[in-house]
Amino acid sequence: MNVPNHVAIIMDGNGRWAASKGMPRNYGHAKGSNTVELITQAASDLGIKYLTIYAFSTENWSRPADEVDALMKLMREYIKRCIRKAAKNNMKVRIIGNTSKLAPDIQELIAELETSSAGYTGLNFQIAINYGSRDEMIRAVRRIAEKSADGLLKPEEIDEELFASYLDTKEIPDPDLMIRTSGEQRLSNYLLWQMAYTELYFTDVPWPAFTKEELVKAIEVYNGRNRRFGNI
C-alpha cells in the first residue's frame, strides 16, 4: 500500500454522533478527543510522516458560549496529555493558527508542548487551533507587506515559495490526502493554499467512530486515484 506522506483531517460529526446516542454535544467532543489519540498512533504505525487535524476553527468562536468553554477545557486537558504522549511516542507536535487569541494558560501549554517535542523524530503532528486559512493568508500578507514597506523585500521577489514560507505550515509539506468525516463535503476554510493538489476523501462515518480501519480505507481509495499534475 502506497501510504501518503501527509494526511490532513477535518474531524466532523462529534455533536451529531453524541445526539444519536442521546448524549450532549460535549460528550461527543470528549469521545472525539480519544479518537485523535487512536488515529495518531494508527498514522504512525502505517508510516504516515505528517498528520494535521482541524481542532478549532476561527469560526468556532460563534458557537454557544458553554460549548466553546467546554472545548477550551477539553483542549487544555488534551494538550497536557499530548505532552506525555509525544514523549512516549517520539512525536513532534506543532500548533498552527492564531494562538495569540487563546487564553494565556493555553498559550503556555502550547509553548511547553512544542518546545518539549521539538527534537522528536517520529510522526510530525500538527494541530490547527483558532485556525482559518483566510486568516492565515491575511496574516502572511501583512507580514510580507511590512517587510516590503521597510525596504527589506522587493515585490518581484514574492513568489509561491516565499509566500508559503510566511504561512503557519512553513517547512511542512502540502497534504497528499484530506479526509473529512460525517458526510459533509466542503473544505471549511482549511488549508486552502496547501491543498491545491490534495486528494479529497469524504466519509459518512462521524469522527468519534473513525478507526484505523477507516483510515486504511481512505488510503486505499487514495491509492486508486490517478494523481497527475499539469495534465501530464
Please give the positions annotated as active site: 12, 60
Instruction: Report angle CA 180, 171, 71 to the nearest 5 degrees.
Output: 45
Q: What's the rounded Cα separation, in Å, for the pair 3 and 48? A: 6
DSSP 175-232: PSEEEE-TT--S-TTSSTTTTTT-EEEE-SS-GGG--HHHHHHHHHHHHTS---STT-
DSSP 67-99: HHHHHHHHHHHHHHHHHHHHHHHT-EEEEES-G
Cell numbers 510522526 correspond to 123
Cell of 111: 509553548
Burial-class residue 37 by CB neighbours within 10 Å (0-12, 13-18, 19+). middle
Q: What's the rounded Cα separation, in Å, for the pair 232 and 230? A: 5
Maximal CA-CA distance, the chain: 60
Phi, psi at 176, each rounded to 5°: -90, -35
Chain length of the chain: 232
